[in-house]
Amino acid sequence: MHPALQALFVIVIGVGGCVFYFYASNIFLDKVLYPARGPNAGRNTNRANMIRPWLFLFPALALLCLYLAYPVFATAWLSVFNRDGAFVGLGNYSAMFAEPKFVESLQNNILWLIVVPAAATAFGLLAAQLTDRIKWGNFAKSLIFMPMAISFVGASVIFKLIYDSRDANLSQIGLINAVWLKFDGGVGSFLMLRLVPFVLIGCLFLAILWAGWSVLRPLVQGQGGSILVTLARLLGAAVALFLGYELAIWLYGIATNELPYGTPQVWLQKPYWNNFFLMAVLVWIQTGFAMVILSAALRGVPEDTIEAATIDGANPFQIFFKIKVPQIMGTIVVVWTTITITVLKVFDIVLAMTNGQWETQVLANYMYDKLFRSLDWGMGSASAMIIMLLVTPILIWNVINARKEMR
């Protein structure tokens, strides 16, 4: 049978089957099992009403359990067996951590987890604020939002053209290289490639150090909370310190590096930096999402708080950072965590653009490699469990919040 016909057939069968199931099971419950008449009418009605929710839920629950809940346990189970089906305990995990490619993908994933959510949320916030009060704001929004509809693979093709590199004697067709070749080491290059980046990264560096300090300050001043809070604060400060260290290296590099002016660069084959070129694709896609949600949140900020601040003489920047941002902090966290989850699953971009070569491997693509190229289901499952492990804090956080809301 032709697949398209088959598809049509499945739609009819699927939809018809669902409707039939729901209709017939309800009829059966009401008319045959517990009919609402005769001497037990009242009791029967109650019983039928106790069973009915489960009739409505059954297909969905069955699919959820089979397609999402069961695989978590099955994967955990598979991850403790080796290629030949012998039980190895945590052997797969220790073998994996000894493998340089895995350590590389874990490091890269951490880099992705820090950069992409931060950049996408920041750009989204900027776009939301900029488009909020201008006439053509909605038009601008829909253009920035557009990449959401484009597949990761399509976006990879788009950006591969941008990063394209050709021999020095040919004309460059990649936008980045064309711009790069305009720099010749003169005043303009100093301004654009040293001064401006130095100032921007320097600001970021100071902001991160300040954030780390403000997280740590209550501890230093002896206002420790519970152990959990103390630990969280220490962790936050450590992350800030690490980022600060990383940025300090960048600053040093920007100031001192000799740049290879005049020669086209193969951007995707420059270890470490190529990760950022891949991340740019995801940031490009996710910014629209962040913008839409944050712009709705910004609209929800009560007008009178802004008016009060204006009357008190706050400038637009103070209004934005001290009045608006604190009020939408909850939404920012939501956006951040949602993008974090997307980042953990990122696979298509890396597969399509570098396939993990030149030190760009990430966990999801590493896992795919293990599962379907090396056909090592034990190792593959173990790396999938690492992804699950990284998602778990967000999962718990979401469930706790959902429970709070239900009450």
Partner 1 sequence: MDGIAGKKSGLVWAVHLSTIALVLLWVVPTFGLLVSSFRTGDQIVGSGWWQSLSTQVQQLAAVRIEGDEVERDGVFVIEGQLYAAGTDVSAWGTSSREPEAYEPGAVADLGDGVTLTVGADGGFVLSSPSTMADLRMPRVFATASTPPEFTTGNYSNVIASPLAGQSIGQAFLNTMTVAIPATIIPILVAAFAAYALAWMDFPGRALLVAFVVGLLVVPLQLALIPLLQFHNWIGIGKGYLGIWMAHTGFGLPLAIYLLRNYMVGLPRDIIENAKVDGATDFQIFTKIILPLSFPALASFAIFQFLWTWNDLLVALVFLGTGNDQQVLTGNIVNLMGSRGGDWEILSASAFVSIAVPLAVFFSMQRFLVRGLLAGSVK
Per CB under 8 A, does 190 bind partner 1? Answer: no
Residues 272 and 403: their CA atoms lie apart, in Å, by 41
Per CB under 8 A, does 327 bind partner 1? Answer: no
Q: Report the residue number, 251 or 327, with the smaller CB distance to partner 1.
A: 327
Residues 214 and 343: their CA atoms lie apart, in Å, by 28
Binding to partner 1 (CB under 8 A) within 344-373 occurs at 344-345, 347-348, 351-352, 364, 367-368, 371-372
Q: What is the CA radius of gyration of the chain?
A: 27
Residues 120 and 46: their CA atoms lie apart, in Å, by 52
End-to-end Cα distance, the chain: 52
Per CB under 8 A, does 401 bind partner 1? Answer: yes
Helix (H, G, I), strand (E, B) or coil at 354: coil
Q: Which of 40, 46, 94, 151 binds partner 1 (CB under 8 A)?
A: 151
Q: Which of 38, 39, 67, 85 binds partner 1 (CB under 8 A)?
A: 67
Output the six-digit token pair for 361: 């491997």
Q: Interhelix angle for 273-300 vs 100-132, to 10°? A: 40
Per CB under 8 A, does 66 bind partner 1? Answer: yes
Q: Which of 20, 54, 97, 273 binds partner 1 (CB under 8 A)?
A: 54
Residue listed under structure tokens 């103390």: 230
Q: Which of 22, 198, 242, 261 binds partner 1 (CB under 8 A)?
A: 22
Q: Report the residue number, 149 or 227, with the smaller CB distance to partner 1.
A: 149
Q: Report the residue number, 15 or 192, with the smaller CB distance to partner 1.
A: 15
In angstroms, give the least distance from the CB of 71 to partner 1. Answer: 4
Binding to partner 1 (CB under 8 A) within 205-264 occurs at none
Per CB under 8 A, does 37 bind partner 1? Answer: no
Q: Report the residue number, 233 or 324, with the smaller CB distance to partner 1.
A: 324
Residue 291: CB atoms within 10 A of its CB come to 27
Q: Which of 338, 360, 369, 382 binds partner 1 (CB under 8 A)?
A: 338
Per CB under 8 A, does 311 bind partner 1? Answer: no
The closest of 213, 183, 322, 195 to 255, measured between CA atoms, is: 195
Query: How many residues in the shown chain lie near partner 1 by CB under 8 A?
Result: 116
Q: Which of 20, 33, 59, 252 binds partner 1 (CB under 8 A)?
A: 59
Residues 210 and 241: their CA atoms lie apart, in Å, by 10
Q: Which helix or strand (DSSP H or E) is residue 114 part of?
A: helix 100-132
Judged by CB under 8 A, the stretch of 127-135, 206-214, 220-228, 259-267 that binds partner 1 is 127-135
Per CB under 8 A, does 19 bind partner 1? Answer: yes
What length is written for the chain? 407
Beta bridge partners of 279: none
Residue listed under structure tokens 């750009």: 123
* CA 102 to each of CA 81, 89, 105, 114: distance values in angstroms, whole numbers, following the listed order: 18, 19, 5, 18
Residues 101 and 86: their CA atoms lie apart, in Å, by 24
Per CB under 8 A, does 71 bind partner 1? Answer: yes
Binding to partner 1 (CB under 8 A) within 373-392 occurs at 377, 380-381, 384-385, 387-388, 391
Residue 352: CB atoms within 10 A of its CB come to 19
Quote the distance between the C-alpha of residue 36 and its chain's center: 52
Q: Which of 35, 47, 52, 95 binds partner 1 (CB under 8 A)?
A: 52
Q: Which of 120, 127, 298, 362 binds partner 1 (CB under 8 A)?
A: 127
Q: Which of 20, 28, 70, 273 binds partner 1 (CB under 8 A)?
A: 70
In angstroms, give the least distance from the CB of 6 to partner 1. Answer: 6
Helix (H, G, I), strand (E, B) or coil at 104: helix
